Structures are given as structure tokens and as C-alpha cells.
């Protein structure tokens, strides 16, 4: 078990070093060169000279890379060109919004996807199954920003069920503790704030959940079908166990193993989707930050940090998934 963790950690470090090298090369090849990229076009010659010195761009490339790595490890990403604030601060403000959105989307995707996938497999070839297959195919074929506009149009413009955009209504008094508005409301006992935040959260989370939901339904269905063919399910039936026991202990406990892996891999899709979804619902998270740092004057210091952060989140989540896998599946656990 320890050996597995160590090996996975090493792999993670190698990936992150490779990524930093790639970002370093990327930064050097941006239009106008790295100095302009990091300072913006309107910087004074003095500041440029200062940065050249600080980055070591008058020195050999390996020294430059070493300095680059040093800055990464100390968390020094410079200042945003747009706002002038430190990049870490800018990202820190947006981070909880995206995590809140992504977590809500994942809860929806798992909560709906697993039961639906299971039912589709049990009713294989029948109406429910065919409908869920059609649904998942549609889910992966629809541009999600279009789906977002569609949902927004129907549920806010026409039916007024949900607010059209933002994370919280103006006038709702919420104390910022963690930055997760739903959580903050609970912590400070401002339950109306929690309700309002949830109310704002539903449509964006549904939109973002589309693709992970489709994928989870498909994987669950395929996995349950595999397990249904297993001999141990027949053994369970031969024991005369109740449906509930067979479903939970014998089918789902085995069938969900591949689904867990999928959940890790869907983190990437969630981050991609967040860029689009946040733009549709004007959700002030990382996605909006990515959009702002690329359109209307490129904010490369922010973008650079976002790339590193996204990759870090992805590899860490997948590491956690792999490790949790080792706890769920006894065959992996024991050496």
C-alpha cells in the first residue's frame, strides 16, 4: 500500500515538473516574448529592465528555468496585468466559486447518473434503457454553452423559476467566511443566504453536470451489465438473497469501481465546462477569470497560474481517486 502511494506520488511529481517545463516554454513563445507577456504592452522600460533582471533573462536558459521554478515553488506568480493585484489573490477570490459550482455539478451527475445507469442496465433493451442511451448521446453532442442559454431562456426569462445570473441576489446579506456561499450561510446561520445561493446554483450546476452525467450513466450501465454476467451474482441469486442485498452488496459494490475512476477523470471536463458555464451565467469563478485573462487584453500571469492550478487539481484529484480505489477494492489493497 505504501509502495503504491510512493509510486503514484513520484509519478505526480514527474508530471508536474514536465508541466512546469511546458509552461516555461509556452511563456517564452508567447507573442511579444515573455517580458511583454508578463508586464503587458504599456509597461515602462524601467520595469521591463527590472523584470529581465528578476527573471534572469540576461542569463543562460537553465538559470532562467531554475528561477522560474523557484518562483513557482514560492507561489510568486507576479501581478495581474488587468487589475494589478497579485495573481494569487485574484485566483484565491475566484477559486471557491468554481469549486462550489463543480462540486454541485458532480453531486448532480453522480446522484442521477448512478441510479439511471443501473436502471438502464437492469432494463436493458427496453424503453428506459433506450431513452437513457439517447439521452447520454444527446448530452455529449450538445454544446453546453448553448444548453446553458436554453435553460436560462426557459427557466428564467419564461418561467422566472431561477435567477438569470450571478451567485447571490443583491440585497441578500451574506458574510464571507470560506468563499463557498452555500457553506458560509450555514456557518453563519444566515440560512436565507444559503437558500439564495442554492437557488442561484441550480441552473449553472445542471448545465455543467450534463457531460459528466452522460459519461457516468454510460459507464455505470456498461459496468453493471458486466457484473450482471459474473458468476458471483448467480451465486447470490442461488442463495435466495433479497433484491436489495444483491443490488447493493453484490452488483453495485463491484460495478461502481470503474465509475470511481471516471469521476476522477471527469475533473478535467468539469474545469473545461466551467469556463463555458460561468460565462453563460456570469458566475465569478475561475472560468470567468480564464475568459477575462484571454479576451480583452491578455493577462498572461493569471493564465499561467491558472494552467498550473488546473493541472495540479486534476492530478491531485486523480491521485486521491486512485488511493481511495485502493481502499474500496480489497484486491488492490493487499500486497
CB of 310 to another protein, least distance (A): 5
CB of 73 to another protein, least distance (A): 18
- Residue 125 burial by Cβ neighbours in a 10 Å radius (0-12, 13-18, 19+): exposed
Q: How many Å apart are CA 288 and CA 306, to the nearest integer?
A: 11
Q: Which residues bind another protein (CB under 8 A)?
A: 11, 14-15, 18-19, 22, 26, 29-32, 124, 137-138, 140-143, 145-146, 149, 153, 221-222, 225, 230-232, 234-242, 245, 249-250, 253-254, 257, 268-273, 275-276, 279, 290-291, 294-295, 298, 300, 303, 306-307, 310-311, 314-315, 328-331, 334
CB of 137 to another protein, least distance (A): 6
CB of 96 to another protein, least distance (A): 18
- Check: CB of residue 121 under 8 Å from CB of residue 224: yes
Rounded alpha-carbon distances, angstroms, from residue 125 to 128, 135, 217: 8, 14, 15
CB of 172 to another protein, least distance (A): 26
Q: Which is nearer to another protein, 15 or 261 (CB)?
A: 15
Torsion of CA 149, 268, 289, 151, to 10 degrees: 10
Q: What is the DSSP string of 236-278?
A: HHHTT--HHHIIIIIIIHHHHHHHHHHHHHHHHHHHHHHHHHH
Q: Which is nearer to another protein, 263 or 311 (CB)?
A: 311
CB of 175 to another protein, least distance (A): 32
Torsion of CA 143, 145, 146, 152, to 10 degrees: 150
Rounded alpha-carbon distances, angstroms, from residue 113 to 6, 8, 69, 131, 242: 33, 29, 41, 13, 24
Those residues with Cβ within 8 angstroms of residue 318's Cβ, 6 or more apart along the chain or in another chain: 264, 265, 267
Q: Which is nearer to another protein, 137 or 320 (CB)?
A: 137
Amino acid at each position: 500500500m505504501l509502495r503504491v502511494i510512493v509510486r503514484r506520488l513520484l509519478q505526480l511529481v514527474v508530471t508536474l515538473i514536465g508541466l512546469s517545463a511546458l509552461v516555461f516554454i509556452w511563456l517564452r513563445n508567447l507573442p511579444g516574448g515573455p517580458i511583454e507577456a508578463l508586464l503587458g504592452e504599456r509597461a515602462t522600460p524601467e520595469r521591463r529592465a527590472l523584470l529581465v533582471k528578476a527573471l534572469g533573462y540576461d542569463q543562460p536558459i537553465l538559470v532562467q528555468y531554475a528561477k522560474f521554478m523557484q518562483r513557482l515553488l514560492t507561489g510568486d506568480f507576479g501581478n495581474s496585468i488587468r487589475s494589478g493585484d497579485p495573481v494569487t489573490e485574484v485566483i484565491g477570490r475566484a477559486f471557491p466559486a468554481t469549486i462550489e459550482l463543480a462540486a454541485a455539478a458532480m453531486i448532480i451527475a453522480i446522484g442521477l447518473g448512478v441510479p439511471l445507469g443501473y436502471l438502464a442496465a437492469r432494463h436493458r433493451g427496453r424503453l428506459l434503457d433506450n431513452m437513457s442511451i439517447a439521452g447520454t448521446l444527446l448530452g455529449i453532442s450538445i454544446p453546453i454553452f448553448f444548453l446553458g442559454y436554453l435553460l436560462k431562456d426557459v427557466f428564467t426569462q419564461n418561467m422566472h423559476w431561477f435567477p438569470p445570473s450571478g451567485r447571490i441576489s443583491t440585497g441578500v446579506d451574506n458574510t464571507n467566511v470560506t468563499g463557498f456561499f452555500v457553506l458560509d450561510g450555514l456557518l453563519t446561520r444566515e440560512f436565507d443566504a444559503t437558500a439564495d445561493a442554492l437557488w442561484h446554483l441550480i441552473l449553472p450546476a445542471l448545465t455543467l453536470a450534463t457531460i459528466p452525467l452522460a459519461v457516468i450513466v454510460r459507464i455505470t450501465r456498461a459496468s453493471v451489465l458486466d457484473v450482471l454476467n459474473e458468476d458471483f451474482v448467480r451465486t447470490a441469486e442461488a442463495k435466495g438473497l433479497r433484491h436489495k442485498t444483491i443490488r447493493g452488496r453484490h452488483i453495485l459494490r463491484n460495478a461502481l469501481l470503474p465509475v470511481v475512476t471516471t469521476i476522477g477523470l471527469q475533473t478535467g471536463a468539469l474545469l473545461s465546462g466551467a469556463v463555458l458555464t460561468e460565462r453563460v451565467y456570469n458566475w465569478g469563478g475561475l472560468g470567468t477569470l480564464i475568459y477575462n485573462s484571454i479576451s480583452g487584453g491578455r493577462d498572461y500571469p493569471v493564465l499561467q497560474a491558472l494552467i498550473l492550478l488546473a493541472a495540479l487539481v486534476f492530478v491531485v484529484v486523480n491521485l486521491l481517486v486512485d488511493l481511495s480505489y485502493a481502499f474500496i477494492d480489497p484486491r488492490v489493497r493487499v500486497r
